[in-house]
Amino acid sequence: MGATPKQRISSKHRHDRRSHNHIKPLHLVDCPQCHNPRLPHHVCPVCGTYRGRQVLQVKAEDTAQS
For β-strands 49-50 and 37-38, DSSP reports them as: unpaired
Burial class from Cβ neighbours inside 10 Å (0-12, 13-18, 19+) for residue 12 reads exposed
pLDDT at 62: 56
Is the confidence at residue 66, as pLDDT, over 60? Answer: no
pLDDT, tens digit (0-9, with 9 covering 90-100), for 1-46: 788 999 999 999 999 999 999 999 999 999 999 999 999 999 999 9
H helices of 5-44, where? 11-17
- Dihedral over Cα of 21, 25, 27, 28: its sign: positive
Residue type, 25: P
Q: What is the pTM of this model?
A: 0.60
CB 26, CB 39: distance < 8 Å: yes
